[in-house]
């Protein structure tokens, strides 16, 4: 989607002695359809020396609000916030909307409009064939926007929103690949059956040598160290050309997540934490559940699971304890979950549709024809849902 820009950087001319601090101010959309009612605004700042900007950008809005607050803390000169203006909550959210941003005495603004909803504002999905009749188990998005999916028979498949699914990338293995993670520099780490761990750039993957033939269910790179979860409740930490395993629980480890100072393991028998990969302690979740995924953000640690009961009721909690809180989930059997931009933007794929929740409001049915095994937020309104072998869905409106 074309991004609307105001402001300038010294990208087209040499940064000479007369350079002043400035920034760009942009939004992914400025016409609100009365349904999703949000826009992602971004800033990209350069200071008077030509270096990346630091500090805080102050945001203003005549109506509506920014979900994360009215300040953006710059990181590497950049930052973003989510603007929401729902006419059902605030009658003033109708007609023109003016957004402003100020940094180092420089101000820029954007003009938008809230319009009544109409039939064309309904979500629109397109079926995107994967061209591979192979089961996909996991997917992750790289910094450049490319999605990489892994599956049976050593499958590694790239997806780009402009071209769809591409040809498989050779991994050199034929065993199922179960998990994938992508580093900030774009390097991949894949893990699967029979002790397979692959790492490196997409076109230059190499096996990580070690002495184990266990099958891995999850993978994480935390502070440069590779961790893998197993189906028998252990977590392996790669150290000096080998994996060191620690028994964490009796059940399967389904997911691994990084905290600033620790690794979290989510499994069939609980949530666990370790600061060094050697000693693990329970996070004492509020209920007995089989935890299938975890996510860390500025609001804390989120865990998605299913109660250990006959009904296997899905639940979402936020912690860590002792003050765990629960959050609502949409109807249906939850299959996958992901976060959008910011902790206030969540997506869930169930067995019947895909749902989105913003800023603690109710779940909005995005009217997808089906759910899927993995869900990836691509940017703006675009969402990719990876379904049964050979099929995926892309939200295009």
Each residue's pLDDT expressed in tens, for the chain with a length of 397 residues: 444 444 433 333 334 455 788 999 998 778 765 455 567 789 999 999 989 999 999 999 988 888 778 998 898 898 888 787 777 667 777 788 899 999 999 999 999 887 755 545 567 888 888 877 889 999 999 999 999 999 999 999 999 998 999 999 999 999 999 999 999 999 999 999 999 999 999 999 999 999 999 999 999 999 999 999 999 999 999 988 899 999 999 899 999 999 999 999 999 999 999 999 999 999 988 888 999 999 988 878 999 998 888 777 888 898 886 778 888 788 778 888 888 766 568 888 887 788 888 876 777 878 788 788 889 988 777 889 888 778 888 887 7
Alpha-carbon span 269 to 376, nearest angstrom: 27
* The pLDDT value given to residue 37: 55
- Beta strands 31-32; 106-114: pairing state: parallel
Exposed e or buried b per residue across 41-73, where buried means at least 16 C-beta atoms within 10 angstroms of its C-beta: bbbbbbbeeeeebeeebebebebbbbbbeeebe
Fold of 4-119: Immunoglobulin-like (2.60.40)
pLDDT in tens, 298-314: 878 999 998 888 777 88
* The pLDDT value given to residue 279: 96
Angle 12-18-22 from CA coordinates, rounded to 5°: 60
* The pLDDT value given to residue 13: 36
For the CA atoms of 236, 237, 238, 244, the dihedral, rounded to the nearest 10 degrees, stands at -60
In CATH, what class is 125-395?
A: mainly beta
Backbone conformation region of residue 351, classed left if phi is above 0, alpha if psi is from -120 to 50, else beta: alpha
4-119 matches 125-395 in fold: no
* The pLDDT value given to residue 15: 45
Written as one string, the DSSP assignment of 68-129 is T-SEEE-BTTEEEEEEE--TTT-TT-SEEEEEEEEETTEEEEEEEEE----GGGS--EEEEE
- Percentage of the chain beyond pLDDT 90 is 47
Domain map of the chain by residue range?
4-119, 125-395
- Percentage of the chain beyond pLDDT 70 is 90
* The pLDDT value given to residue 130: 82
Q: Are 392 and 161 spatial neighbours (Cβ–Cβ below 8 Å)?
A: no
Q: What are phi and psi of 71, to 5 degrees?
A: -135, 140
DSSP letter for 362, please.
P
């Amino acid at each position: 989607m074309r991004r609307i820009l105001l402001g300038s950087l010294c990208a087209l001319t040499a940064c000479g002695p007369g350079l002043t601090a400035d920034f760009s101010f942009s939004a992914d959309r400025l016409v609100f359809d009365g349904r999703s009612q949000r826009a992602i605004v971004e800033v990209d700042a350069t200071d008077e020396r030509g270096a990346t900007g630091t500090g805080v950008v102050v945001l203003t809005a005549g109506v509506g609000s920014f979900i994360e607050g009215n300040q953006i803390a710059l990181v590497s000169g950049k930052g973003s916030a989510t603007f929401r203006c729902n006419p059902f909550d605030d009658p003033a959210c109708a007609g023109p909307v003016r957004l402003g941003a100020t940094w180092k005495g420089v101000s820029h603004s954007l003009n938008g409009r809230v319009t009544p909803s109409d039939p064309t504002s309904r979500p629109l999905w397109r079926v995107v064939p994967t061209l591979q009749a192979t089961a996909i188990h996991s997917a992750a998005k790289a910094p450049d926007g490319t999605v990489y999916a892994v599956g049976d028979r050593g499958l590694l498949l790239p997806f780009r929103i402009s071209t769809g699914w591409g040809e498989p990338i050779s991994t050199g293995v034929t065993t199922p690949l179960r998990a994938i993670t992508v580093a900030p520099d774009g390097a991949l780490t894949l893990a699967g059956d029979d002790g397979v761990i692959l790492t490196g750039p997409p076109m230059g993957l190499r096996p990580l040598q070690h002495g184990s033939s266990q099958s891995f269910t999850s993978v994480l790179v935390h502070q440069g160290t590779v961790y893998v979860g197993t189906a028998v409740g252990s977590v392996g930490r790669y150290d000096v050309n080998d994996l060191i395993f620690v028994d964490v629980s009796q059940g399967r480890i389904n997911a691994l997540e990084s905290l600033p100072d620790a690794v979290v393991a989510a499994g069939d028998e609980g949530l666990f934490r370790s600061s060094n990969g050697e000693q693990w302690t329970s996070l004492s979740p509020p209920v007995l559940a089989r935890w299938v995924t975890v996510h860390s953000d500025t609001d804390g640690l989120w865990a998605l699971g299913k109660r250990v009961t006959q009904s296997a009721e899905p639940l979402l909690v936020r912690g860590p304890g002792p003050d765990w809180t629960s959050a609502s989930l949409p109807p249906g059997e939850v299959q996958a979950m992901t976060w959008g931009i910011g902790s206030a933007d969540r997506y869930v794929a169930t067995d019947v549709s895909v749902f989105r929740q913003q800023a603690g409001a109710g779940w909005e049915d995005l009217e997808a024809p089906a759910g899927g095994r993995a869900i990836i937020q691509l940017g703006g309104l675009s969402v990719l849902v990876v379904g049964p072998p050979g099929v995926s869905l892309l939200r295009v409106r």
